[in-house]
Amino acid sequence: MKGTQFGEFEEIVLLTIALLYDDAYSAAVVEELSQRLERPMSLGAVHRTMQRLEEKGLVHSRFGESTAERGGRRKRLFTVTVSGEQVLQEARKIRNDLWADIPKAAFGGSVA
């Protein structure tokens, strides 16, 4: 995925899709993010980000079964693709390498 921009919010949404695995649809991702980040999330912003991740090939979507509680509408469910997993692994490695290389003195010795 070299050359493809991958922002922090996209990373968080992609991680949340992976976390929710087979139940990752827009409203569920919004709920999970709102709880974990302790702030309200915009359904529109999350949904658009999920669409952008699909355009980049980092997630795949499919329609689930229709349900009575949704008035017969089907959920659009998202799953992480192999490319999405690779991008997340690369981002994790970069972050971990940076954290490991920060001298303790950089934070007044408070870094574990």
Domain 8-103 classification at class level: mainly alpha
The residue ranges of every structural domain in the chain are 8-103
- Both tokens assigned to 98: 């940076």
The tens digit of pLDDT for each residue in 3-62 reads 567 899 999 999 999 999 989 999 999 999 999 999 999 999 999 999 999 999 999 999
The tens digit of pLDDT for each residue in 55-96 reads 999 999 999 876 767 666 788 999 999 999 999 999 999 999
User: In this structure, what are the phi and psi dihedrals at residue 109, rounded to the nearest 5 degrees?
Assistant: 80, 10
d(CA 80, CA 57): 9
Place of tokens 């003195």: 105
Task: Tell me the pTM.
Answer: 0.85
User: In this structure, what are the phi and psi dihedrals at residue 57, rounded to the nearest 5 degrees?
Assistant: 80, 15
